[in-house]
């Protein structure tokens, strides 16, 4: 393969032709256009041909491969011999052992492959030309048929140099584009891997119904898991939240371009598509392929053009040579900023790029990713020797460093030669910490610099505060002009982040007869810190925790089932945090004493020294990472709290410098993995910390402007269909501060977009939907006919989504007109349809789950558990067997309405119908389940001729891990007899698939029972 430097440091040309169009106005379109899917497809292909795409008519894989050979020969100005081509195809394009991950890595990291010629010479073969994108050839074909597990006919495919790299799935106008999304998921599962697997080179997907059009990347991690599942014979369930990560295309003003005609004219412009594929896709450290959104691309290109312009006019070394990017919190600033740094490092005129981050971000958030972008660029030690070495190394084009280390380097090396180099400095988060001495030191030391900053919450005159250098009070003064804006309103509209729901809880009551003078004389801080008030706050949190964090809902997180979300509790000071930690501990002990079944929340606490609680401009003060600066009482308290954490999780952290950093990192991970229920913080984690499992912020802290938006934004990262908004519970009156912050960082109408609608509005919509469902489909009746079934699934899914939001409002418990019995009956019908069409053979009938979206994650939220069933059985037994038909019907309804208990129904029925149940019902149930589990496992072992000890050990591990292993050699070791080597390819493979399926069904059947 080609040398690493040839691939990484090729120079790039900054073209005046922007990847993202500056402004797009959609032309008027006749209402009668594109009435059928075929008409839509024909017009789309014709438009691509007008944009200089070559039209292909290919129907077989042999033709596809022949075209690939011809295109690579043209690109590389070479003629393969037949032997050379066969070998190159097998080893460098379509190896039998490679899947989606390996092929995606080849496009983004190893696109130059080595051809070993028959005459003994070697030649570099480019699969794609990234140095001059216009050398690449674009072709379009349609209705290509792939035949894997099932035969599939694909709508439209765009080839780059003969490789399928973009797939477009179309539906007629009026049809939900999720149908196209689901169709592509089926192709990935059933046939993209078939034959030579060339369709696994697809990097981007586009879905459209003509009216609405979206794009998304081939997320290779999920694709890899599906591939492994396919190879093992076990299908992988498509999660219900993946569609949330599709994106709109837009112009540079963030105006979405949704119509297929406009999308094709802009996104499929040849230079745009090729730029996206070659520059603006990121194959990350977790082997996911990320495609940048239009606002991210615009920001990166604005920076490149500013560098070029300022260099041409010799403006470097001034504020006019740089600028700042205002992209709201949660919009992917770190990816954008580092991509800008990476591209800037490839400009011929630039000698070095410094990518500057805060120490805690480098140490704990993105270090692996930075190191992947630029091997060896990251050094998290405290000394500056490594930084000095890289500054002096001309081959080190990009250097990742921390604010703190850069400051020390400048102080220790006042006359270093690097200060005279043509340098680009990019700050990942340009807030107040770069406005003072640090900024002055940089501008005095470096001579030919461009200074760029990224921020989600800029400092304007309005929120700049009164102190500091009057010439460095705003982001624009420090970094230069604003180059691009993407506000919180844009992000919510695009569904890149979730809206907020805010509850303001009054915790201080004033006597009605009190005068204004008496009220103003109250010592506010003393009142807020009063033990009675703090205990009231603690009780409110504990009383409402399950509701706010949706602990009645379950979902899949990293291949395990978890309940609900977690939260942060923001305290006003270290003293307040300590008091709250003690108050939560005491309250939970009391609740456990009063209720033996009480499950205490797992609560952690973290803080360190900060000079001030809050700065005048609303910025949250940076907390350091040296507990030595804490006073003795605070450090001693933290030491004890960390010991509580150690006892909880079997860790061994402490307040030494190294121990505290380990604690910070471990606590971060446990929040992200939903292993910790709540963390009490002062400023830490309120800025820059991203955990998609966080959905609630409990705030007993004054917040405003920058700090308020930063803190709120910890809760609104997209995760799945269960998480619909960020939940803010404020124990202080922050209404005015919230409105001011949203107006400043969004626009004057931001509150209406960023905040959820009122309870009354949601309830009205819910009741209207319920009335329509009852009128069309009375409870307890079968829904017949495919059209009616689709409609029922859509209505019930919408009902579940609305109910999911409404359950977080306290009033809903009184206002819900849907009884538990009716909900269970409707849920049973819904789950019956899901089971029927999920397993139905595609050849028998059009699969309904390709046309509608099943909200199974939300259905699980309303399901009952085994304890509820046992309670009904106990009542059934006490009331006399066979006498209470309604009670038996209640048990049947409850089981039918549960997504996880349906495959256990026969076990529950057998237990209910036992002739005699003596003793406590739960003990009888555990004994019954243990007996049935043993009997059924022994039957399975006998029928499949498996080794008993090995099988029992594997099943024990599967119950512990929640899944049966599908790859590796462990399954092979279960077989008492191994197939001969002549039959292993077909017989043994089929046998293995059957055994995996039966073992998985067994684990799912008994999982959660008898525990």
φ, ψ for residue 803, nearest 5 deg? -65, -35
Please give the pLDDT value at position 521.
40
Please give the pLDDT value at position 79.
95
462 and 561 inside one domain: no
Please give the pLDDT value at position 428.
79
803 and 907 inside one domain: no
Q: Determine the 3-state secondary structure of 927 from DSSP.
A: helix
Please give the pLDDT value at position 234.
41
Sign of CA dihedral 659, 660, 661, 662: positive
- Tokens representing 501 are 């729901």
CA neighbor of 287 nearest in space, from 93, 109, 95: 109
Predicted confidence (pLDDT) at residue 876 exceeds the cutoff of 90: no
CA neighbor of 355 nearest in space, from 379, 326, 331: 379
Average pLDDT for 845-867: 57
Measured between alpha carbons, how far is 521 from 515 in angstroms, rounded to an integer?
10
Measured between alpha carbons, how far is 606 from 950 in angstroms, rounded to an integer?
45
What would the pLDDT profile of 942-979 be if each residue is shown by its tens digit? 888 888 888 888 888 877 766 777 655 677 788 876 54
Range of the domain at 847: 759-856
**Cα dist from 549 to 533, 568, 743, whole Å:** 23, 11, 28
Residue 403 lies in a domain: yes
CATH number at residue 208: 3.90.1570.50
Residue with tokens 């940089």: 442
Residue 924 lies in a domain: no
Predicted confidence (pLDDT) at residue 117 exceeds the cutoff of 50: yes
95 and 215 inside one domain: yes
CA neighbor of 680 nearest in space, from 627, 628, 649, 644: 644
CA neighbor of 754 nearest in space, from 1007, 409, 429, 490: 490
| CB 847, CB 835: distance < 8 Å | no
Please give the pLDDT value at position 661.
86
Residue 834 banded pLDDT, cuts 50, 70, 90: confident
Rounded to the nearest integer, the mean pLDDT of the chain is 80
166 and 209 inside one domain: yes
Residue 922 lies in a domain: no
Residue 17 lies in a domain: no
Which of 429, 458, 486 is at the close of a domain?
486
Predicted confidence (pLDDT) at residue 32 exceeds the cutoff of 70: no
402 and 551 inside one domain: no
Residue with tokens 């409110």: 540
Please give the pLDDT value at position 476.
84
Predicted confidence (pLDDT) at residue 696 exceeds the cutoff of 90: yes
What would the pLDDT profile of 354-402 be if each residue is shown by its tens digit? 888 776 555 444 566 666 655 655 655 567 888 888 888 888 888 888 7
Residue 27 lies in a domain: no
Which of 486, 514, 537 is at the close of a domain?
486
Please give the pLDDT value at position 127.
95
Please give the pLDDT value at position 434.
52
Residue 411 lies in a domain: yes
What would the pLDDT profile of 239-252 be if each residue is shown by its tens digit? 334 677 789 999 99
Predicted confidence (pLDDT) at residue 860 exceeds the cutoff of 80: no
819 and 877 inside one domain: no
CATH number at residue 825: 1.20.58
733 and 770 inside one domain: no
Residue 613 banded pLDDT, cuts 50, 70, 90: very low
580 and 701 inside one domain: yes
Pick the more confident residue, 570 or 287.
570
What would the pLDDT profile of 140-184 be if each residue is shown by its tens digit? 999 888 776 666 788 899 999 999 999 999 988 878 888 888 888
Measured between alpha carbons, how far is 572 from 529 in angstroms, rounded to an integer?
10
Please give the pLDDT value at position 817.
83
What would the pLDDT profile of 189-224 be if each residue is shown by its tens digit? 767 877 788 888 999 999 998 889 999 988 744 543
- Tokens representing 368 are 């692996």
Please give the pLDDT value at position 706.
81
Which of 754, 774, 807 is at the close of a domain?
754
Predicted confidence (pLDDT) at residue 983 exceeds the cutoff of 50: no
Sign of CA dihedral 234, 240, 242, 246: positive
What would the pLDDT profile of 760-796 be if each residue is shown by its tens digit? 888 888 898 899 989 888 877 788 887 888 888 888 8
| CB 323, CB 306: distance < 8 Å | yes
Please give the pLDDT value at position 820.
75
Residue 980 banded pLDDT, cuts 50, 70, 90: very low
Residue with tokens 């046998």: 991
CATH number at residue 656: 3.40.50.300
719 and 788 inside one domain: no
Measured between alpha carbons, how far is 631 from 629 in angstroms, rounded to an integer?
7
Predicted confidence (pLDDT) at residue 73 exceeds the cutoff of 50: yes
Predicted confidence (pLDDT) at residue 3 exceeds the cutoff of 80: no
Please give the pLDDT value at position 112.
92
CA neighbor of 99 nearest in space, from 238, 185, 199: 199
423 and 551 inside one domain: no
> Strand 151-160 vs strand 163-170: parallel, antiparallel, or unpaired?
antiparallel
CA neighbor of 357 nearest in space, from 302, 434, 280: 434
What would the pLDDT profile of 930-945 be if each residue is shown by its tens digit? 888 888 899 988 888 8
CA neighbor of 450 nearest in space, from 344, 327, 373, 342: 344
Residue 64 lies in a domain: yes
Average pLDDT for 92-96: 88
Number of domains in the chain: 6
Please give the pLDDT value at position 689.
83
Size of the chain in residues: 1011
Measured between alpha carbons, how far is 929 from 911 in angstroms, rounded to an integer?
9
Please give the pLDDT value at position 471.
66
Measured between alpha carbons, how far is 783 from 882 in angstroms, rounded to an integer?
30
558 and 692 inside one domain: yes
What would the pLDDT profile of 746-759 be if each residue is shown by its tens digit? 765 556 666 667 88
Report the range of poorest mean pLDDT among 455-464, 515-524, 891-900: 515-524
Residue 723 lies in a domain: yes
177 and 105 inside one domain: yes
């Amino acid at each position: 393969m080609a040398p690493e430097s040839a691939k990484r440091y090729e120079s790039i040309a900054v073209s005046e032709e922007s990847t993202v169009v500056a402004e797009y106005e959609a032309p008027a379109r006749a209402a009668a256009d594109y009435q059928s899917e075929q008409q839509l497809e024909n017009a789309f292909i014709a438009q691509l041909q007008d944009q200089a795409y070559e039209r292909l008519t290919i129907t077989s894989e042999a033709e596809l491969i022949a075209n690939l050979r011809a295109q690579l020969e043209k690109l590389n100005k070479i003629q393969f011999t037949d032997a050379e081509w066969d070998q190159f195809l097998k080893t460098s394009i379509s190896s039998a052992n490679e899947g989606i991950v390996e092929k995606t890595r080849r496009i983004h990291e190893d696109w130059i492959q080595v051809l070993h010629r028959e005459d003994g010479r070697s030649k570099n073969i480019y699969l794609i030309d990234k140095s001059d994108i216009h050398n690449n050839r674009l072709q379009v074909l349609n209705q290509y048929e792939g035949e894997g597990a099932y035969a599939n006919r694909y709508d439209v495919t765009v080839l780059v140099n003969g490789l399928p790299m973009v797939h477009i799935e179309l539906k007629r106008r009026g049809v939900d584009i999720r149908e196209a999304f689901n169709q592509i998921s089926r192709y990935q599962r059933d046939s993209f891997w078939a034959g030579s697997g060339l369709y696994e080179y697809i990097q981007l997907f586009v879905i459209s119904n003509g009216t609405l059009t979206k794009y998304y990347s081939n997320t290779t991690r999920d694709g890899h898991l599906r591939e492994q599942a396919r190879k093992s014979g076990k299908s992988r369930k498509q999660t219900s939240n993946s569609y949330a990560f599709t994106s709109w295309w837009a112009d540079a003003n963030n105006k979405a371009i949704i119509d297929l005609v406009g999308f094709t004219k802009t996104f499929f412009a040849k230079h745009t598509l090729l730029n996206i594929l070659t520059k603006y896709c990121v194959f990350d450290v977790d082997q996911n392929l990320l495609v940048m959104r239009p606002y991210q691309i615009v920001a990166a290109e604005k920076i490149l053009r500013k560098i070029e312009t300022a260099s041409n006019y010799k403006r470097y070394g001034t504020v006019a040579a740089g600028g700042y990017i205002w992209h709201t919190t949660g919009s992917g600033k770190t990816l954008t900023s580092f991509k800008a740094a990476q591209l800037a490092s490839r400009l011929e005129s630039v000698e070095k790029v410094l990518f500057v981050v805060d120490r805690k971000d480098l140490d704990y958030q993105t270090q692996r990713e930075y190191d992947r972008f630029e091997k060896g660029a990251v050094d998290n030690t405290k000394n500056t020797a490594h930084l000095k070495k890289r500054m002096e190394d001309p081959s080190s084009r990009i250097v990742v460093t921390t604010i703190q280390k850069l400051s020390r380097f400048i102080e220790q090396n006042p006359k270093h030669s690097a200060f005279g180099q043509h340098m680009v400095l990019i700050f990942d988060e340009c807030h107040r910490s770069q406005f003072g001495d640090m900024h002055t030191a940089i501008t005095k030391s470096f001579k030919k610099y461009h200074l760029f900053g990224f921020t989600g919450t800029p400092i304007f005159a309005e929120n700049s505060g009164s102190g500091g250098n009057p010439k460095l009070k705003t982001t624009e003064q420090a970094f230069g002009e604003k180059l691009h804006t993407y506000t919180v309103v844009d992000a919510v509209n695009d569904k890149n982040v979730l809206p907020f729901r805010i509850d303001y809880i009054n915790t201080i009551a004033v006597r009605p007869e009190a005068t204004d003078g008496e009220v103003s004389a109250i010592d506010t801080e003393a009142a807020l810190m009063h033990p009675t008030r703090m205990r009231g706050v603690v009780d409110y949190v504990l009383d409402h925790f399950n509701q706010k964090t949706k602990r009645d809902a379950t979902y899949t997180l990293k291949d395990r089932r978890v309940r609900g979300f977690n939260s942060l509790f923001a305290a006003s000071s270290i003293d307040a945090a300590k008091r709250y930690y003690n108050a939560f501990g005491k309250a939970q002990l009391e609740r456990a004493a009063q209720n033996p079944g009480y499950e205490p929340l797992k609560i952690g606490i973290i803080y360190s020294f900060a000079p001030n609680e809050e700065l005048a401009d609303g910025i949250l003060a940076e907390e350091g990472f040296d507990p030595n600066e804490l006073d003795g009482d605070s450090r001693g308290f933290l030491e004890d709290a960390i010991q509580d954490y150690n006892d909880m999780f079997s860790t061994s952290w402490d307040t030494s410098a190294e121990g505290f950093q380990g604690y910070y990192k471990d606590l971060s991970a446990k929040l992200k993995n939903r292993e910790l229920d709540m963390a009490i913080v002062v400023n830490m984690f309120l800025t820059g910390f991203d955990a998609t499992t966080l959905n609630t912020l409990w705030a007993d802290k004054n917040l405003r402007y920058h700090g308020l938006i930063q803190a709120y934004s910890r809760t609104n990262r997209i995760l799945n269909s269960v998480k619909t908004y960020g939940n803010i519970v404020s124990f202080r009156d922050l209404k005015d501060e919230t409105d001011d912050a949203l107006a400043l960082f969004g626009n004057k109408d931001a509150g209406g977009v960023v905040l959820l609608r009122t309870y009354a509005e949601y309830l009205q919509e819910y009741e209207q939907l319920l009335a329509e469902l009852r009128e069309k489909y009375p409870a307890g009746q079968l829904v017949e006919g495919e059209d009616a079934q689709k409609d029922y699934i859509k209505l019930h899914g919408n009902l579940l989504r609305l109910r999911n939001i409404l359950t977080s409002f306290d009033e809903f418990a009184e206002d819900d007109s849907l009884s538990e019995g009716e909900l269970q009956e409707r849920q049973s019908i819904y789950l019956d349809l899901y089971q029927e069409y999920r397993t139905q053979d595609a050849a028998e009938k059009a699969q309904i789950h390709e046309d509608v979206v099943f909200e199974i994650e939300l259905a699980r939220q309303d399901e009952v558990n085994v304890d509820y069933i046992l309670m009904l059985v106990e009542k059934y037994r006490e009331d006399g067997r066979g006498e209470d038909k309604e009670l038996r019907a209640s048990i049947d309804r409850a089981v039918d309405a549960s997504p996880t208990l349906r495959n256990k129904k026969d076990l529950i029925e057998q237990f209910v119908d036992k002739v005699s149940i003596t003793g406590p019902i739960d003990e009888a149930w555990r004994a019954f389940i243990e007996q049935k589990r043993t009997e059924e496992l022994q039957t399975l072992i006998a029928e499949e001729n498996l080794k008993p000890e090995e099988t029992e050990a594997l099943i024990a591990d599967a119950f512990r891990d929640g899944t049966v292993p599908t790859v590796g050699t462990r399954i092979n070791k279960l077989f008492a007899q191994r197939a001969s080597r002549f039959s292993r390819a077909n017989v043994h493979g089929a046998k293995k698939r059957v055994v995996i399926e039966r073992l998985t069904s067994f684990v799912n059947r008994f999982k959660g029972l008898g525990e």
